Structure 1
Amino acid sequence: MTYPFTATFASIAVAELDLDGPGGPVLSLGPAPGGPPLGEGDIYALVRLRGRPAATVLGRAGAGEDPAEVLTAAFRAQKVRADQKDLGRYEPAAAGEPHAAAEPHAPPRTTVIVGTRERAGQLARALDSLLAQDHPDFRVLVVDNAPVTSATRDLVASRYAGRVDYVHEPRPGLALAHNRGLAAADGAVVAFTDDDVIADPHWLTALSTPFAADPGLGCVTGLILPARLTTPAQILLESHGGFAKGFEPRLYDPARPPAGEPLFPFTAGSFGSGANMAFRADALRAVGGFDPATGTGTPARGGDDLYAFVRILSAGHRLRYTPWALVWHHHRETWQDLENQAYGYGAGLTAYLTAILVRRPALLPALLAKLPRGLAHARAITAHRPDGEAESGPGVHGGHGARHHPWPRGLSRLQRRGMLYGPLGYAKARRRISGDGGPA
């Protein structure tokens, strides 16, 4: 597919705007080198208040204008337009959340698991950010998934010896890699991220501390923002929401299903993403970990994170989303990447639902009862969004000129085709694992 409006996409600088700098707002370049410099042109900025993520804003700095002043004014205008409910997210953090005035809980011992395959360059960038965490007690574990070279092993041995542990998983599949890491983890909490992220220094503390405050918590997810916006594919994806889930903390409790989500807990995509998630280790082990027939690297194409979210909730544990746990994600750069992602998202969605029903048949009546609304929801999330009707992700507030970049019909069709394929992909993955002698 060739997107016809490629020429209308201009690179956007990614930055951070701290409104509480000693001399006023301070603007700094974002976490990833190689993007556009700050100055004249479009700038996408994470706004921090009292050190914590509060919003994102998009502004255009003209010749001779101070980019910090432009973005601050844009943020103030955006805040005024928000309704009173949205304004609540700019209040001080609630007790038990990182950066609150009085934080009584220490973060528990945590193992960070990074599944990777033949991407040593990206992995090094991710590991550098993980080793800079302010968490007082953590371990980083790399799981080398079905490698064809020794590049990952060599990187860990030469550059991170004594600081990063290495585990080899010979069978392909992200869920298999995560399960291998879970088996080797020694923390009360296991956190998962990808090799294409840069973690904020406070990420792990923010992600793991809620477990100490809430014994019934089984999973915590966090905020994912774009590390770069330099290609049309990256800008289009982020202008339609990207991976962001907004700046309001949310608690999902199976004992009190959210009124605004009638499909709960089967709308697992709203809970978070696999690039930024943590689990109470005992709870994740008790539900059997990740389904090995799901995830990137299998015929199912995805769904491993969604499966784990629903299994944790269906076992009676709570799930919390906290925007203070931030990672910056390197979105895929090409149109082919975006097409693959659209198809894989659709396939993973129905593959994980198939996995849930295979593993937990008792959930079938609940799923069937929600199926009519589920089909309507699936159609809505894969619908073509014409110019002027583009969705604004909760983290972008309509940023990147989304109204000028309609979601292509071809990507919507690919998502739907992926959804049709997902159950078949899951069945193929199970057969392959059984053929390899592993548990399916």
Structure 2
Amino acid sequence: MSTQQPNPPDSAGRAGTLTPLRVAQLDLAGPDGEVLSFGPALPPAASIEGGDVYALVRLRGRPVGTVVCRVPPGKCAADAVATEARALLARTGVPAEHAPGPAPASADATPASAPRTSVVVATRERADQLARALDSLLAQDHPDFEVVVVDNAPATDATRDLIAGSYADRGVRYVHEPVPGLAVAHNRGVAAADGEVVAFTDDDVVADPNWLTALTRPFATDPGLGCTTGLILPARLGTPAQILLESHGGFAKGFAPKTYDPHHPPADEPLFPFTAGSFGSGANMAFRAAALRAAGGFDPATGTGTPARGGDDLYAFVRVLTAGHRLRYCPDALVWHHHRETWRDLENQAYGYGAGLTAYLTALLVRRPALLPALLRKLPRGLAHARAITAHRDSAGAAVPGAHGAQDHPWPRRLSRLERRGMLAGPVGYVRARRKARGVRPPWEPAGRTPSEGRQP
């Protein structure tokens, strides 16, 4: 992969003046085949004619990798990116699941095989971004789905008015949740959903037209599947904060499908299932509704909008896995995420990542104390893993954006410190959030019933 080097952080640990990258996508007929299409990742961006480019590489529509390259002046951008893409595929090869041609006969790939699905989008005072996300959701090729918007602790009527004025007549349902917190909002969406599968995405994404079908089709062929996650790529890389976030790993988990089975733990992940961040992210996930409800849903004391700052998605992944269900990562299920643009946003995210990680682990131990022995056995390796993923890394010789999971990308010292500070604060934040959430139970559980957290799978 051809890469450009970042400018070094300044004395405050900032990213300096990283060069913006144009985000594109390239579709090839084969690993060394002709260019089928090339252009900006999302409209209405201007055509790409030169400069630094970050491109998703597809093979006949299926995502297989990303490249970063500089298009020389006067050279055709499609040809320059295609050269890098072919070189990448020659080095790495193409997983059988992503090779061109029809899917294996054992995998029913027709859209009709996808189960009835409810898509839940939690939002708060971001009507403009929400409209963009909803337009992409309503263009999905999934044969049977609904969209439920959960307006979380709104300060204005902007979201309600948007749905009533532009989307209600297109089948989008509006649900109000007065208690602040992403997990509470997601639980409200689960209670309102009527699908066999409940999918979740954020109000700052644009979903690929095949996203929902690719994310939910595995449920039709695997009765033991409890959760799926998908690929998240950056919609824009125009500011140093956006570039550094993607360099730190962003939200993508690579381009190879992977199934996590609690009955057959992966040999290459000794911390399984507690490194839930490797499974996927909340902007692109789906659950079998019955499995999620049986697990008690999302912990209301986790997530954005609470003192815990995050961890709601990680908690749900582990709860479903520890209940005996499988989880599958589906790179064909793609959404484009609009990363936050400012340095302050990136600082908040770094702190929130750390806090959310330890908050979700605290939530697991509080709600499932039987997991404590397993967690203690893995604690030494877990601490080493935490140090590695939060370590300060100099920019010299590193790729921007960094390769997925490579841990060789730049990460300024200030962000490293904030992430570790968040880890220390996460358990306290969870305790504070749990006190605030006392008495809040999943909306599908009647009052007076013993909360789901007390049951064993």
- TM-score, shorter chain, exceeding 0.5: yes
Q: Is 1:173 paired with 2:181?
A: yes
Give 1:40 deviation, angstroms: 1.4
For residues 88-144 of structure 1, the C-alpha deviation after alignment (integer angstroms, 9 at most, x for no partner) is 5652475489xx796597100000000000000100000000000000000000000
* 1:106-145 pair list within 5 angstroms: 106-145=113-152
| Mapped contact 1:41–1:61 kept (Cα < 8 A) | yes
| Mapped contact 1:32–1:227 kept (Cα < 8 A) | no
| Mapped contact 1:245–1:394 kept (Cα < 8 A) | no
Give 1:433 deviation, angstroms: 1.6
Tell me: CA distance 1:325–1:87, structure 2 relative to 1, closer, same or farther (3 Å): closer
Q: Is 1:221 paired with 2:232?
A: no
Give 1:386 deviation, angstroms: 1.8
TM-score by length of 1: 0.92
| Mapped contact 1:123–1:195 kept (Cα < 8 A) | yes
| Mapped contact 1:105–1:212 kept (Cα < 8 A) | no
Give 1:424 deviation, angstroms: 0.4
| Residue in structure 1 matching 2:64, options 29, 45, 54 | 54
Give 1:58 deviation, angstroms: 1.4
Tell me: CA distance 1:389–1:279, structure 2 relative to 1, closer, same or farther (3 Å): farther
Structure 1 equivalent of residue 258 of structure 2? 250
Give 1:6 deviation, angstroms: 2.0
| Residue in structure 1 matching 2:431, options 418, 427, 431 | 427
> CA–CA distance in 2 between the matches of 1:252 and 1:397?
17
| Mapped contact 1:390–1:407 kept (Cα < 8 A) | no
Tell me: CA distance 1:384–1:179, structure 2 relative to 1, closer, same or farther (3 Å): same
Give 1:57 deviation, angstroms: 1.2
Structure 2 equivalent of residue 272 of structure 1? 280
Give 1:438 deviation, angstroms: 2.4
After the TM superposition, which of the residue ranges 57-66 and 18-27 deviates more from structure 2? 18-27
| Residue in structure 2 matching 1:31, options 35, 42, 48 | 42
Give 1:79 deviation, angstroms: 2.0
| Residue in structure 2 matching 1:16, options 10, 13, 25 | 25
For residues 339-397 of structure 1, the C-alpha deviation after alignment (integer angstroms, 9 at most, x for no partner) is 00000000000000000011101111111111111111111111111234647878669
| Mapped contact 2:123–2:151 kept (Cα < 8 A) | yes
Three-state SS of the structure 1 residue aligned to 2:119 is: strand
Tell me: CA distance 1:320–1:134, structure 2 relative to 1, closer, same or farther (3 Å): same
| Mapped contact 2:95–2:256 kept (Cα < 8 A) | no
* 1:59-208 pair list within 5 angstroms: 59-82=69-92, 88=96, 90-92=98-100, 95=104, 103=110, 106-162=113-169, 163-208=171-216
Give 1:23 deviation, angstroms: 6.9
Q: Is 1:371 paired with 2:373?
A: no
> CA–CA distance in 1 between the matches of 2:104 and 2:398?
36
Q: What is the identity, as a one-letter code, of the residue corresponding to 2:115?
A: P
> CA–CA distance in 1 between the matches of 2:405 and 2:362?
34
Q: What is the identity, as a one-letter code, of the residue corresponding to 1:255?
A: H
Tell me: CA distance 1:255–1:386, structure 2 relative to 1, closer, same or farther (3 Å): same
* 1:374-389 pair list within 5 angstroms: 374-388=382-396
> CA–CA distance in 1 between the matches of 2:122 and 2:334?
19
> CA–CA distance in 1 between the matches of 2:105 and 2:195?
20
| Mapped contact 1:299–1:425 kept (Cα < 8 A) | yes
| Residue in structure 1 matching 2:370, options 353, 362, 380 | 362
* Structure 2: tracts of 5 or more residues without a match: 1-10, 442-450, 452-457
Structure 1 equivalent of residue 296 of structure 2? 288
Tell me: CA distance 1:371–1:300, structure 2 relative to 1, closer, same or farther (3 Å): same
> CA–CA distance in 1 between the matches of 2:219 and 2:400?
31
Give 1:421 deviation, angstroms: 0.4
Three-state SS of the structure 1 residue aligned to 2:185 is: helix
Tell me: CA distance 1:413–1:32, structure 2 relative to 1, closer, same or farther (3 Å): farther
Three-state SS of the structure 1 residue aligned to 2:259 is: strand
TM-score by length of 2: 0.89
For residues 229-267 of structure 1, the C-alpha deviation after alignment (integer angstroms, 9 at most, x for no partner) is 111100111123211100000000000000000010000
* Structure 1: tracts of 5 or more residues without a match: none
After the TM superposition, which of the residue ranges 388-397 and 315-324 deviates more from structure 2? 388-397
Give 1:55 deviation, angstroms: 1.0
> CA–CA distance in 2 between the matches of 1:285 and 1:207?
19
> CA–CA distance in 2 between the matches of 1:58 and 1:124?
30
Give 1:29 deviation, angstroms: 1.3
Q: CA RMSD in A?
A: 2.4
| Mapped contact 2:229–2:285 kept (Cα < 8 A) | yes
> CA–CA distance in 2 between the matches of 1:365 and 1:101?
41
After the TM superposition, which of the residue ranges 405-414 and 420-429 deviates more from structure 2? 405-414
| Residue in structure 2 matching 1:237, options 239, 245, 249 | 245
Q: How many residue pairs end up in the alignment?
A: 428
Q: Percent identity?
A: 68
Tell me: CA distance 1:394–1:260, structure 2 relative to 1, closer, same or farther (3 Å): farther
Three-state SS of the structure 2 residue aligned to 1:14 is: strand
